[in-house]
């Protein structure tokens, strides 16, 4: 049986620390953490994507994942320097190695890295969906547009699929 990969994109202090309330980060983190736990419990990979573009201009702490996101030892980490997490990274090879049939995308920013990674997964032949209530943007108008034009999945459906139907 093929597996589900959960890509949690750019949930880093540098991007979110000062905007948590404005973007309703807490709500997105609840959805992300719930799905991640469901998938981990069923041996599906959870992959944290971290943007390190311009890292030399930032302190290392600002590149860390925000504390509201649960990161477990078995989770995979991928660093990227482009908006598309597949560009010049090992992400595609990781997904192929884990026999991934469905890619679920969540994180920040809906109109940039989330969307570009979603498209990158689809271009590589993966069935790809965005986690409903699991994406963030500094521009709230972007989220409904992103959801309108893309495949979206709710956490109860992921739970159902992850538990083997």
Closest of 73, 65, 128, 69 to residue 95, by C-alpha: 128
pTM of the predicted structure, to 2 decimals: 0.95
What confidence tier does 55 reach under pLDDT thresholds 50, 70, 90?
A: low
Burial class (CB in 10 A: 0-12, 13-18, 19+), 130: buried
Q: Is 62 helix (H, G, I), strand (E, B) or coil?
A: helix
Distance, C-alpha 163 to centroid of its chain: 20
Fold annotation for 3-162: Rossmann fold (3.40.50)
Give the residue-averaged pLDDT of 15-21. Answer: 82
Q: Break the chain into its structural domains and give their ranges.
A: 3-162
CB of 41 closer than 8 Å to CB of 140 = no
Q: Which residue did the predictor score with more confidence, 115 or 54? A: 115
């Amino acid at each position: 049986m093929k597996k589900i990969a959960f890509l949690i994109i750019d949930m880093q202090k540098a991007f979110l620390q000062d905007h948590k309330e404005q973007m309703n980060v807490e709500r997105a983190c609840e959805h992300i953490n719930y799905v991640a736990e469901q998938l981990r419990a069923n041996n599906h990979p959870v992959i944290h994507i971290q943007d390190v573009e311009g890292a030399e201009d930032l302190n290392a702490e600002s590149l860390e994942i925000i504390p509201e996101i649960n990161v477990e030892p078995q989770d995979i980490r991928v660093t990227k320097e482009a908006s598309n997490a597949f560009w010049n990274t090992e992400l595609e090879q990781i997904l192929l190695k884990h026999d991934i049939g469905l890619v679920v995308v969540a994180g920040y920013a809906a109109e940039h890295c989330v969307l570009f990674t979603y498209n990158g997964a689809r271009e590589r032949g993966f069935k790809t969906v965005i986690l409903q209530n699991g994406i963030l943007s500094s521009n709230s108008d972007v989220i409904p547009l992103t959801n309108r034009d893309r495949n979206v999945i709710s956490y109860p459906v992921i739970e159902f699929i992850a538990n083997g139907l």
